[in-house]
Structure 1
Amino acid sequence: MNLKDVVVRQVAMKLKQPFQTANGLVVTRDTLIIEAYDHDGYVGYGECVAFADPFYTPETTTTAWDMLKHFILPVIQKSRIDHPNQVHDTLSSIQGHQMAKASIETALWDLYAKQQGMPLKDILGGVYDHVESGVVLSLSDDLSSQVKHYKKKGYKRYKLKVQKGQERETIDKARQVLGDAPIMFDGNGIYEPEDMLHLTKLDDLDLHMIEQPFRQDDFFYHHQLRKEMKTKICLDESIQSEHDAFQAMELGAADTFNVKLGRVGGYHVAQMIHHYAKVANMPLWCGGMLETGIGRAHNVILASLEQFTLPGDLSESERYWEQDIIKQPFKVKNGLVQVPTKPGIGVTVDHKLMDKLTVRQFTFDLATTQQL
């Protein structure tokens, strides 16, 4: 791949309004942007989607920064990387840290596609030119006013963050505006086994699905709940590898998966999960992590794969940002987002704005020991 060096920068982007879940509050999105350069001047972009605080996963922007600088990039420097598919096995000696791994792997996929002069969608085998977009509404959002706005945009699915015991009230409030539009809620793992009866009583709400009601390592009670409800059960935090996906399928723990590139470690694992889902005829959808336009581009491309038939968390850039760090922000029209058609991830980064928002950065030389 003719790799030269990698720039890792921490960018602080203030959200248009705070994003509140049952587990945490995000006011300013601290994210890591990865720039992978080759000797011919091409650059591939990735994004580490870990949060500043460990409320979603143990990874944070701080742990990812340290892992990239002291472990992940040194391993890549000493290895021969001819194709981004090799990154997964190259980094297999490093346990965990999927989000940090995914950030460099996705950057190298973007770089590779640009070197080939092809859209990344085509290299990965994407089949959709447009993907259906859903929108996420946090606990701090004004449901009445914001739902009306998103309804006009034609969003195909609405995901609500909820508090335990107030699910019905929240959903009924949204239904007053949305009518019979698909609505789901995200449990973020806040429910305990003793909440099983409470959850089954929500079956009459005719939800699109319930996402991750129980803790991430609990396949058993997700399986039990799925047997008791007609409402579909989705796993999010539980799926961190292809083995997790296979195990969940074999145990009957879910009807669908929310696949996030960062959480599973990048495209290589996401493609393996996609393969399992295709064999099992399981629908998938792509989740979001309050990404900038760089991470959103990768998500939209992932959602172009065949088995991603459910609307993903692919809302337009202005949902979160006054100004995104890409020059052509993503738009939602009639509930659809266009998959980029230019080489790589198909977006142009606004380096002037990104420099302004950069808190810290470092450059890692990959050319010293690589013979590529």
Structure 2
Amino acid sequence: MKLSGVEIRTVELPLVSPFRTSFGTETVREALLVRVVTDEAEGWGECGAGTAPLYSSEYTHAAADVLTRFLVPALAGVPGLDAHRVAPALAPFKGHRMAKAALETAVLDADLRVRGVSFGHALGAVRETVPCGVSVGITESIPALLDAVAGYLDAGYLRIKLKIEPGWDVEPVRAVRERFGDILLQADANTAYRRADARHLAHLDPFDLLLLEQPLAEDDLIGHAELAARLTTPICLDESIVSARAAADAIALGACRVVNIKPGRVGGYLEARRIHDVCAAHGVPVWCGGMLETGVGRAANLALAALPGCLLPGDTSASDRYYRTDITAPFRLVDGHLAVPTGPGIGVTPIPDVLEAVTTATKWVPVPAGCHPS
């Protein structure tokens, strides 16, 4: 493919309800979309970064800047451009995995659309639908939490994930377990605890959680290994897993028994597939995490969630979990499952009028003249 240029678009979508974690509370989702234009097709990708560097060091304005100044220009001289050539071309630039992932995804989407191949087929999906879980943020009270969980179970979600932090952990988990019985239940700490909290976190063991996600800092694999040895609840790593090598190291250290794969966090869907394969080779189940994606990111995540090693319901919730109006045709929950798109590429395209209505900024980054890949 010959790359003509890349459009970087910022959108803002109000959330159906505030979503609170240990990182803060979101009421509006600011997302960065990347549209790659080639001589044969267009492709879309979504950057999972938030408005502030809280989940990771990345944030939307920085992602837009690094894409404009460094990442898109780096693709200009790549011969025979396809998705597999993106990561090597961007490797000299340190970090910025979410921005790189958005660009790689858009190139992969364009390439697959040309070939008439779906994301699911390209990644190796083995399911036509995937079971869906929902992530429940920190609420103002336990009764409010119970009402929220009841609503999601009534809607058909098959797994409930509770966000926790110091002061909001054992009691809400206890309340949900006692109220709803033998549901699939897990907790996500988003790095909110320290090694000294091991005794306290052990109080979660009686509640038969599927897993405890990322309790300690992202760079503390040893601490996670020590915690894993003290808890019966399986430790799942999220922020710590930034590559297939990081996954292999974590498994070798005994730091986790489950892995959450977020394609943006690891640099794209090709690396996400490698992490899946590493974990499968070691008998470690994986699942697809979420970053409040619009329909663009959700479509690609569903393809990942359909891989054979994704043995637990992920955060691939329906569109109406977060947005009254998505920028693509909405994904709807049916019997606790979402359908994996089967069309070429990611299988969806933003609806022009809706997209324009939520757009706050656009920037066109042309490929320098004379530097088209052959």
What per-residue deviation string (whole Å, max 9, x for no partner) do you get for residues 172-209 of structure 1?
Answer: 23234422101111111111111011111221111111
| 1:43 paired to 2:42 | yes
Deviation, structure 1 residue 53: 0.8
Q: Give the distance between the partners of 1:19 and 1:187, measured in 2 at CA.
A: 14
Q: Structure 1 residues 263 and 11 mapped into 2: Cα distance closer, same or farther (>3 Å)?
A: same
Identity %: 38
- State the TM-score, normalizing by the size of structure 1: 0.96
Q: Which residue of 1 aligns with 2:351?
A: 350
Q: Give the distance between the partners of 1:33 and 1:321, measured in 2 at CA.
A: 16
Q: Give the distance between the partners of 2:80 and 2:152, measured in 1 at CA.
A: 43
Q: Give the distance between the partners of 1:81 and 1:295, measured in 2 at CA.
A: 26
More deviation, 332-341/210-219: 332-341
Equivalent position amino acid for 1:83 in 2 = D
Among residues 139, 142, 166, which one is paired with 1:164 in the alignment? 166
CA contact (8 A) 1:3 1:367 kept: no
Q: Which residue of 2 aligns with 1:98?
A: 97
Among residues 260, 283, 286, which one is paired with 1:284 in the alignment? 286
Deviation, structure 1 residue 371: 3.1
Q: Give the distance between the partners of 1:354 and 1:54, measured in 2 at CA.
A: 25
What per-residue deviation string (whole Å, max 9, x for no partner) do you get for residues 145-191 of structure 1?
Answer: 22222112321211001231331211123234422101111111111
Q: Which residue of 1 aligns with 2:84?
A: 85
* 5+ long unaligned stretches in structure 2: none
| Secondary structure of 1:332's aligned partner | coil
| 1:111 paired to 2:110 | yes
Equivalent position amino acid for 1:131 in 2 = V
Q: Give the distance between the partners of 1:145 and 1:278, measured in 2 at CA.
A: 37
Deviation, structure 1 residue 3: 2.2
Q: Give the distance between the partners of 1:21 and 1:123, measured in 2 at CA.
A: 34
| Secondary structure of 1:85's aligned partner | helix
Q: Which residue of 1 aligns with 2:33?
A: 33
RMSD across aligned positions (CA): 1.3
CA contact (8 A) 1:51 1:60 kept: yes
More deviation, 135-144/200-209: 135-144
* 5+ long unaligned stretches in structure 1: none
Q: Which residue of 2 aligns with 1:213?
A: 215
More deviation, 274-283/68-77: 274-283
Runs of 4+ in 1 over 6 A off after TM superposition: none
Q: Which residue of 1 aligns with 2:338?
A: 337
| Secondary structure of 2:175's aligned partner | helix
Q: Which residue of 2 aligns with 1:134?
A: 133
CA contact (8 A) 1:153 1:333 kept: no
Q: Which residue of 1 aligns with 2:16?
A: 16
| Secondary structure of 1:305's aligned partner | coil
Q: Give the distance between the partners of 1:5 and 1:12, measured in 2 at CA.
A: 23
CA contact (8 A) 1:151 1:178 kept: no
Q: Which residue of 1 aligns with 2:145?
A: 143
Among residues 269, 272, 279, which one is paired with 2:271 in the alignment? 269
Q: Give the distance between the partners of 1:283 and 1:81, measured in 2 at CA.
A: 35
CA contact (8 A) 2:6 2:36 kept: yes
What per-residue deviation string (whole Å, max 9, x for no partner) do you get for residues 227-247 of structure 1?
Answer: 112211000000112221111
Q: Structure 1 residues 358 and 174 mapped into 2: Cα distance closer, same or farther (>3 Å)?
A: same
More deviation, 355-364/162-171: 162-171
Q: Give the distance between the partners of 1:65 and 1:140, measured in 2 at CA.
A: 32
Q: Give the distance between the partners of 1:255 and 1:367, measured in 2 at CA.
A: 47
CA contact (8 A) 1:210 1:233 kept: yes
Q: Give the distance between the partners of 1:190 and 1:146, measured in 2 at CA.
A: 23
- State the TM-score, normalizing by the size of structure 2: 0.96
| Secondary structure of 1:37's aligned partner | strand
Q: Which residue of 2 aligns with 1:254?
A: 256
| Secondary structure of 1:31's aligned partner | strand
Deviation, structure 1 residue 348: 3.0
Q: Give the distance between the partners of 2:39 and 2:221, measured in 1 at CA.
A: 47
Q: Which residue of 2 aligns with 1:5?
A: 5
Deviation, structure 1 residue 366: 2.7
Deviation, structure 1 residue 55: 1.0
Q: Which residue of 1 aligns with 2:229?
A: 227
Q: Give the distance between the partners of 2:365 and 2:349, measured in 1 at CA.
A: 23
CA contact (8 A) 1:18 1:140 kept: no
